[in-house]
Chain A
C-alpha cells in the first residue's frame, strides 16, 4: 500500500469539496463542502507524516482540526444571523453589504 493511493483519495475528496462550493447555493451546504476540503487536506497531512516517518504531519492535522472547529462555530453563527435578517440561507439572496 503506497502512500500515493491516500494522496489520490485526498485529491478526489478535495476536488469534490471545491466543486461543491462552486455549485451549491445553500450556505450551510457550502460550508460542509469547505469542511470536506479541510478533511481532505488533513488526510494528506497524515499521509505525509507516514511518508516522512515522524509525527509532525499529525500535529499539523491536529491544529487544522482546532482551527476548523473555531471556524465552524463562527461561520454557523454568521449563517444564523443572516438567516434571521433575511429568512433565507441561500447565498444568492445576500447580495448587498447592508440591509
Chain B
C-alpha cells in the first residue's frame, strides 16, 4: 500500500509540474511569436527554455535539464542578446507583407499541421516504462549517459568535437573584417563633419520645462515644432521619447505667428 501511495504522489507532483511548466512554455513561445521587439522575443524564449528544462527533469533526464539551462538559456540566448546588441535594438519587424496573404496562410498551415499531429499522436497509447530503472543501472542519470556516450556513441561524440571546432573557426572567419582603408583619426572625422551638409557644431540640448528636463524631452523650436535632434537617436529608436503636450506646442506656435496672448494680455 505505501508503495502505491508513493507512486500516486509522484504522479500528482509530475502532473502539477507539467501543467505549470507546460503552460509557461507555451506562453513563452507565444510571447516570442507576438512581441514586436527582438529583445522581448529573446527573453520570452528564455522563459520557454527554462520551463522545458523543468519538464526534462520531471521526466528523469536530470543531466539534460541542467545542460538545457546552462547551454540554452545561459549560452545560446545570451549569444542571441549579444548579437541583438550588435545589430541594434531598433531592429523590430516590418509589418509589410511581402507575399500577399502569407501570414494567414502560415497560420492556417501551422494549425493544420498541429491538428494533424495531435490527431495522430493522441490516438497512440504510449507505454510508460520510465527511466528510473535505466538510470539506476550505472548508479545515476549522468553515469548512465556517460556509459552510452563513451562506449556506444564514442565515434559520434568525437565527430561532434570536430563539428564544434569547425563552427568556432567558421564564426571567426565570418566575423573577421579586414580593414582596407586606414583608420579615421579625430582630425579626419572633424574635416568630414565640416564638409558634410549638416550642422557641424554641438546638437541642441533637450528641452527644459517646468516639470521635465531629462534627455528624453525634446526641445521646442521658436515656431512651436519639436527639435528632432535634441534627443538621442537611440532613445528615438527605442520609442521612449517623452511626448510633449500638443496644447503647449500649439500655444507656442500661435505666439510665434503673432496672435495669442500670455496670461490674458494682448500681444503687441
**Shortest Cβ gap from B190 to chain A (Å):** 24
Find the A residue at minimum CB distance from B19. Answer: A5
Residues of A contacting B133 with CB < 8 Å? 53
Are A77 and B175 closer than 8 Å at their CB atoms?
Answer: yes
Residues of A contacting B55 with CB < 8 Å? 6, 9, 43, 46
Residues of A contacting B153 with CB < 8 Å? 59, 63
Are A58 and B61 closer than 8 Å at their CB atoms?
Answer: yes
Residues of A contacting B113 with CB < 8 Å? 15, 18
* CA gap between A25 and B126 in the complex, in Å: 38
* CA gap between A53 and B171 in the complex, in Å: 39
* Size class of the contact patch on chain B: 35 or more
Majority-rule SS of A interface residues = helix
**What are the interface flags for A36-74 relative to B under an 8 Å C-beta threshold, 1 for contact and 0 otherwise?**
100100110011011111111011011101111111111
* CA gap between A52 and B93 in the complex, in Å: 43
Interface residue from A4, A47, A54 paired with B134 (Cβ < 8 Å): A54
Residue B129 lies at the interface, judged by CB distance under 8 Å to chain A: yes
Interface residue from A7, A69, A79, A88 paired with B71 (Cβ < 8 Å): A69
Report B16-69 residues with CB < 8 Å from chain A CB: 18, 22, 25-26, 29-30, 32-33, 38, 41-42, 45, 48-49, 52, 55-56, 59-61, 63-64, 67-68
Are A25 and B118 closer than 8 Å at their CB atoms?
Answer: no
**Shortest Cβ gap from A23 to chain B (Å):** 5
Residue B214 lies at the interface, judged by CB distance under 8 Å to chain A: no
Interface residue from B45, B117, B144 paired with A36 (Cβ < 8 Å): B45
Are B144 and A55 closer than 8 Å at their CB atoms?
Answer: yes
Are A80 and B167 closer than 8 Å at their CB atoms?
Answer: no
Residue B131 lies at the interface, judged by CB distance under 8 Å to chain A: yes
Residues of A contacting B63 with CB < 8 Å? 58, 62
* CA gap between A47 and B149 in the complex, in Å: 19
* CA gap between A66 and B18 in the complex, in Å: 26
- Decide yes or no: A81 and B175 within 8 Å by CB, A2-B128, A55-B145 being known contacts: yes
Residues of A contacting B124 with CB < 8 Å? 4
The interface of chain B, by Cβ under 8 A from chain A, is 11, 14-15, 18, 22, 25-26, 29-30, 32-33, 38, 41-42, 45, 48-49, 52, 55-56, 59-61, 63-64, 67-68, 71-72, 75-76, 79-80, 83-84, 86-88, 91-94, 96, 98, 102-103, 106-107, 109-111, 113-114, 117-118, 121-122, 124-131, 133-135, 141, 144-145, 148-149, 153, 156, 160, 163-164, 166-168, 170-171, 174-175, 177
Sorted nearest first, the 8 A-B pairs with minimum C-beta distance are A53-B129, A22-B106, A70-B167, A19-B110, A77-B174, A77-B171, A15-B114, A16-B29
